[in-house]
Amino acid sequence: MRLTLRVWRQDGPDRRGRFEDYDVPDVNPEISFLEMLDVLSDRLALAGEEPIAFEHDCREGICGSCGVVINGRVHGPQRGTSTCQLHMREFSDGDVVVVEPFRARAFPVIKDLVVDRSPLDRIMEAGGYITVTAGSAPEANAIQVPKQAAETAMDAAACIGCGACVAACPNSAAQLFTAAKVSHLGLLPQGQAERWSRAESMVETMERFFGSCTNHGECESACPKSISIDFIAMLNRDFVRAKWKNRKLAGQKR
């Protein structure tokens, strides 16, 4: 099939970007979206132009490296699918396909379709862990976790950290990302000791970089792992309770 690709090109962080049109006359519908970009990039290189910079690595939907906006949809038209898992059979002959980087103030463009998502790591560093020193753990089966809790924790833990939730949100909020980690750890018995400090600290770090959630729900529909916004409700509840608990139990905090 024949496609027109309208791709965002930007030479560097401080450079002005623009859309460029590329005619791709012979797209095999069985190939993946990124394989189509590979083919185009190789052609550009051979024609003396710069290939399109885009991030990708595992190409099986788990590393979270890839992610572009396709025709206005974060990760493209297929629900629950990261860009690398999207295949060209989802498009039709003659389509104009607009490809842009994730847009969010916290994710500045580095080049073409590559953005800087490092603020997500700052949120993790603020408390997205359970403190365990290697060697100090109790026997694994000493901690019983109800199957339902383990399953729900896993639903949240499935987050691949791609940042689609931020890119899809009209406020560029990172609530779904933060909620997924807070809920994953907060649902497990192992995560209880730091539950309240974690919720408070991760949310406060999040707010340094990102906008606020106003319940649009765009994040859930863009999420390649279909992580539920129920977790945002859990986060909000934990955050409010944390405000009480952390003052009452720790007292000394601010």
Instruction: Say how far apart CA 35 and CA 50 lie, in whole Å.
Output: 17
CB 202, min distance to other proteins, A? 11
Q: Which residues from 193-222 bind other proteins, rule CB under 8 A?
A: none
- Of 1-9, 118-126, 169-177, 233-241, the segment contacting other proteins by CB under 8 A is 118-126
- Of 67-75, 85-93, 214-222, 234-242, the segment contacting other proteins by CB under 8 A is 85-93
> Contact 61/84 with Cβ under 8 angstroms?
yes
Residue 51, C-beta contacts closer than 8 angstroms, at least 6 positions apart: 41, 42, 44, 45
CB 189, min distance to other proteins, A? 9
Q: Which residues from 150-189 bind other proteins, rule CB under 8 A?
A: 150-151, 153-154, 157-158, 160-161, 184-185, 188
CA-to-CA dists, residue 254 to 19, 182, 193, 198, angstroms: 48, 22, 20, 15
| Of residues 102, 249, 246, 125, the one with CA closest to residue 181 | 125
| Residue from 45, 233, 240, 249 in contact with other proteins (CB under 8 A) | 45
CB 184, min distance to other proteins, A? 7
Q: Which residues from 48-77 bind other proteins, rule CB under 8 A?
A: 48-51, 53, 55-65
Length of the chain: 254
131 or 252: CB nearest other proteins: 131
- Of 69-77, 131-139, 228-236, 245-253, the segment contacting other proteins by CB under 8 A is 131-139
Q: Does 135 bind other proteins (CB under 8 A)?
A: yes
End-to-end CA distance of the chain: 62
Burial class of 208 by CB neighbour count within 10 A (0 to 12, 13 to 18, 19+): exposed
CB 162, min distance to other proteins, A? 10
CB 236, min distance to other proteins, A? 21
Name the one residue in this structure whose structure tokens are 């992580």.
227
Tokens of 6: 């309208």
Instruction: Say how far apart CA 104 and CA 167 lie, in whole Å.
Output: 6
| Residue from 3, 5, 76, 111 in contact with other proteins (CB under 8 A) | 111
77 or 214: CB nearest other proteins: 77
Eight-state DSSP code of residue 215: -
